[in-house]
Amino acid sequence: MPPVQFWKPGTAAPGSSVDRASEAEGSLAATSSRAANLSIDAQRQRLPIYKHRQKLLWCVERYKVMIVVGQTGCGKSTQIPQYLHEAGWTSENMVVACTQPRRVAATSVATRVAEEVGSVLGDEVGYTIRFEDLSSPARTRIKYLTDGMLFRECMTDPLLSKYSVIMIDEAHERGAYTDLLLGLLKKIMKKRPELRVIISSATIDAQDFLEYFNSNADSADRSKDDAIIVSLEGRMFPVEVCYLKEPCQDYAEAAVQTVFDIHLREPAGDVLVFLTGREEIDQVIQTLSDRLQTLPRGSLKMLPLPLYATLPPEEQMIIFDPSPRDTRKVIFSTNIAEASVTIDGIKYVVDCGFVKMKTFNPRTCMDVLTTTPSSLASANQRAGRAGRTSAGKCFRLYPASFLPTRNRHSPMPITTPPELTRSDISLYLLQLKALGIDNLAKFDFMSPPPSEMMARALEFLFCLKAIDEEGKLTSPFGRRMAEVPLDPMMAAILLNSQELKCGEEILTIAAMTQNAFNMSSGGMKETMSDLERRKFTAEEGDHLTLLNAYNAFVRYGQKDKSWCGNHRINHKALSRAMSIRKQLKKFLDRFGIKVESCAGDAKRLRRCLVSGYFKNAARMMPDGTFKSAREGATLYVHPSSVMFTRQPSTGWVIYHEVIETTKSFMRDLTVIEEDWLVELAPHFYTFKGGNLKKH
DNA sequence: GAGCACTGC
């Protein structure tokens, strides 16, 4: 077969520059490669970022907000907090905070920095993530934490008064809590002019952050600006970017072809291929493997490997094994390799130009998971993965003319839409209300969520009785809902469990629905439908099945990994469920909510579930499909549900969520009775002429 | 009859 035709732009095309990447991993890489006989201080001074130390400190003095643009491994997240610490920003018991979007990043950066500072982790340098607080209120001066954790701290300390500087790392990812924090920080800075904020971002959106933070300043007078951009030039290895000459019909086929071309024409070095999902990856690896025997005799061998989040951890680790002799590793990955997982030694990147993204449709109240063109920012990030250890090459499986510019419209966006503009935001609005922000229309979102999403979310919070007619948080119900780390529906169910006397069981169900999808251990094929054969199945549906599985685990599996294996129970996921349950129980204790057992009365449990899930009700049709009570949309049972192979005796179910992929699939179902809907949610449903109606 | 991108409290 002829090689795929690529075009190399003569001049630097937009997108050929390589931006940042997650720095946490970069710092860890530095740990292994550093010269053993250099003192820690000497090593730190050799980092390229050290040249910018004075400039950085000066900008923090002069400006309220500093936007730092820098590349992978330049030491932003490890060095800047230390510079601030050394320069006195942590005197008088003040703390420098640095947020990370992911737990592993927070712990690994903190570990590295503690080592550099010469502190025991949890002393001068510490971290806080859910379930793990390795920090000391009296002694910790540099604190790493997940952005969600810092957001939560606002509930007890609305001005974040113990922090002198707050650094928001990886802000360009625009996660929900990052955006919420940006809005809060902007508000806090008005009341605390001495507070300093550092935003670490990618070149592509630094200007957006600048405009956001300078929007209140006098635009004619730059000397009054609050914010400034600081670029830490430190170059990475160059990455040469190539594009297809013509658009391709089938990027999976083009990816296989390109991998073969690289393998036969390019010097040694591993390949990272970005695709969109598990099924696609497995299929491409199959196609590639089938063609391996067409390789000329004596050529380098090829080792294709998959990488996606639902792959069991042991199989994920295989990608880090060094390539066998005379073998080229080719890793086929989802977006997980874009920021969360860093693989060293990648010299070639193949980018299909697409990504699977979840967007919330406020009209149908459904999440839609679709394959869409990935952004230019994401393309830059993917390309950067080829230049971590040496110069690399990136092959984009689309023509250069597809790239967006300020003037050229393209299906490919410049940046990925922020999470807050494409999610069900009821949880976030509830939490903002709990922070005393009643007028959400006036909250300064960097990217305001569409007004229909705001309206839907508020309407829903009202139906759950979290807010009143005026939009004020109800007390104590709404306030407590906001405090519990659960989605609003499950939070309401948990709080309602006192009245229905089933707290023991609801605690377990709430903990299990948080990570139910990772329950099985044998890869994706083993899901709820497999559990069914493992004796945990409850006729009443998935929630009770989860309860049975948890109870069996506590009794037999907790200390017996072979029992877990035999029963297809993921030990890690269930242990996590135990932690979540314990944490939730503490909230109920603090609220003074009595936790009782329903003592086997499943009806009470199911009624309690209806008290929160009432919005998500569906009725079975004669053809076996379901119709939603709310919109009359056609729904299907997800194959991972125990209800996939049975029919609800009453004809009615409630479900945790719908996700639209090839069809609209309901996940986590429980069989209910129609009457309960009217009885437990009279504000939402009535009977009219013998039929259930939504108000 | 047949399927989930990735995080986080």
Q: What is the pLDDT of residues A304-325, one digit of tens each?
A: 999 999 898 889 999 999 989 8
Which overall architecture, per CATH, does domain A484-678 show?
Up-down Bundle (1.20)
Question: Does the CB of A662 sit below 7 A from strand B?
Answer: yes
Question: Does the CB of A356 sit below 7 A from strand B?
Answer: yes
Question: Does the CB of A486 sit below 7 A from strand B?
Answer: yes
Q: Which nucleotides of B are covered by protein (CB under 7 A)?
A: 1-9
Residue A37 three-state SS: coil
User: Is residue A401 predicted with pLDDT exceeding 70?
Assistant: yes
Mutual orientation of helices A503-515 and A571-591 as an angle, nearest 10°? 130
Distance measured from the CA of protein residue A463 to the C1' of nucleotide B6, in angstroms = 30
Superfamily of domain A23-232 in CATH is P-loop containing nucleotide triphosphate hydrolases (3.40.50.300)
pLDDT of residue A533: 61
Tokens of A339: 């920021």
pLDDT of residue A522: 43
Other CB atoms within a 10 A radius of the CB of residue A145 amount to 24
pLDDT of residue A407: 84
Question: Does the CB of A181 sit below 7 A from strand B?
Answer: no
Query: Which of chain A's residues 9-68 bind strand B, using a 7 Å CB cutoff?
Result: none
Other CB atoms within a 10 A radius of the CB of residue A81 amount to 29
pLDDT of residue A219: 65
Residue A42 three-state SS: helix
* A319 neighbors A305 (Cβ within 8 angstroms): yes
Distance measured from the CA of protein residue A327 to the C1' of nucleotide B7, in angstroms = 34
| Cis peptide, bond prior to residue A476, ω within 30 of zero | yes
Fold that domain A239-419 belongs to in CATH:
Rossmann fold (3.40.50)
Distance measured from the CA of protein residue A638 to the C1' of nucleotide B3, in angstroms = 7
Distance measured from the CA of protein residue A22 to the C1' of nucleotide B9, in angstroms = 22
Question: Does the CB of A334 sit below 7 A from strand B?
Answer: yes
Tell me phi and psi for residue A533, to 5 degrees. -75, -10
Residue nearest to nucleotide B8 (CA to C1'): A148
Confidence band of A532 (pLDDT split at 50, 70, 90)? low
Q: What would the DSSP string read from start to end of A69-117?
A: EE-TTS-HHHHHHHHHHHTTTT-TT-EEEEEESSHHHHHHHHHHHHHHH
pLDDT of residue A200: 95
User: Is residue A524 predicted with pLDDT exceeding 80?
Assistant: no
Nearest nucleotide (C1') to the CA of residue A520?
A: B4
User: Is residue A565 predicted with pLDDT exceeding 80?
Assistant: no
Q: What is the pLDDT of residues A330-345, one digit of tens each?
A: 999 999 999 999 898 8
pLDDT of residue A569: 81
pLDDT of residue A686: 84
Query: Which of chain A's residues 427-456 bind strand B, using a 7 Å CB cutoff?
Result: 427
Question: Does the CB of A192 sit below 7 A from strand B?
Answer: no
d(CA A650, CA A671): 7
For residues A569-581, give the mean pLDDT.
Answer: 90
Query: Which of chain A's residues 76-95 bind strand B, using a 7 Å CB cutoff?
Result: none
pLDDT of residue A217: 63
Confidence band of A130 (pLDDT split at 50, 70, 90)? very high
Q: What would the DSSP string read from start to end of A218-270?
A: -TT-GGG-SEEEEEE------EEEEEESS--S-HHHHHHHHHHHHHHHSPS-E
Distance measured from the CA of protein residue A257 to the C1' of nucleotide B8, in angstroms = 38
Q: What is the pLDDT of residues A260-278, one digit of tens each?
A: 999 999 999 999 999 999 9
Confidence band of A536 (pLDDT split at 50, 70, 90)? confident
Distance measured from the CA of protein residue A357 to the C1' of nucleotide B5, in angstroms = 6
For residues A134-150, give the mean pLDDT.
Answer: 96
Distance measured from the CA of protein residue A644 to the C1' of nucleotide B2, in angstroms = 9
pLDDT of residue A21: 34
Buried b (16+ CB within 10 A) or exposed e, A358-394: eebbbeebbbbeeebbbbbbbbbbbbbbbbbbeebbb
Distance measured from the CA of protein residue A130 to the C1' of nucleotide B7, in angstroms = 13
Nearest nucleotide (C1') to the CA of residue A371?
A: B5
pLDDT of residue A298: 84
* A141 neighbors A110 (Cβ within 8 angstroms): no
Strand A366-373 and strand A354-361: the pairing is antiparallel
For residues A106-123, give the mean pLDDT.
Answer: 95
| Higher pLDDT among residues A263 and A693, named by residue | A263
Beta bridge partners of A442: none
Question: Does the CB of A310 sit below 7 A from strand B?
Answer: yes
> Domain locations in chain A?
23-232, 239-419, 484-678
Question: Does the CB of A529 sit below 7 A from strand B?
Answer: yes
For residues A469-477, give the mean pLDDT.
Answer: 95
d(CA A90, CA A140): 9
d(CA A685, CA A167): 47
Distance measured from the CA of protein residue A664 to the C1' of nucleotide B1, in angstroms = 14
d(CA A374, CA A15): 12
Confidence band of A299 (pLDDT split at 50, 70, 90)? confident
Distance measured from the CA of protein residue A419 to the C1' of nucleotide B4, in angstroms = 18
User: Is residue A19 predicted with pLDDT exceeding 60?
Assistant: no
Confidence band of A523 (pLDDT split at 50, 70, 90)? very low
Residue nearest to nucleotide B3 (CA to C1'): A639
d(CA A130, CA A150): 11
* A127 neighbors A106 (Cβ within 8 angstroms): yes
Percent residues over pLDDT 90 in chain A: 75
For residues A47-51, give the mean pLDDT.
Answer: 90
| Higher pLDDT among residues A88 and A297, named by residue | A88
**Helical spans, DSSP H, in A334-464:** 336-339, 376-384, 426-434, 451-463
Confidence band of A689 (pLDDT split at 50, 70, 90)? low
Residue nearest to nucleotide B6 (CA to C1'): A336
pLDDT of residue A526: 54
For residues A61-79, give the mean pLDDT.
Answer: 90
Q: What is the pLDDT of residues A161-198, one digit of tens each?
A: 999 999 999 999 999 999 999 999 999 999 999 999 99
Domains A23-232 and A484-678 share a fold: no
Mean pLDDT for all residues in chain A: 90
d(CA A307, CA A105): 19
pLDDT of residue A528: 67
Q: What is the pLDDT of residues A599-612, one digit of tens each?
A: 999 999 999 999 99
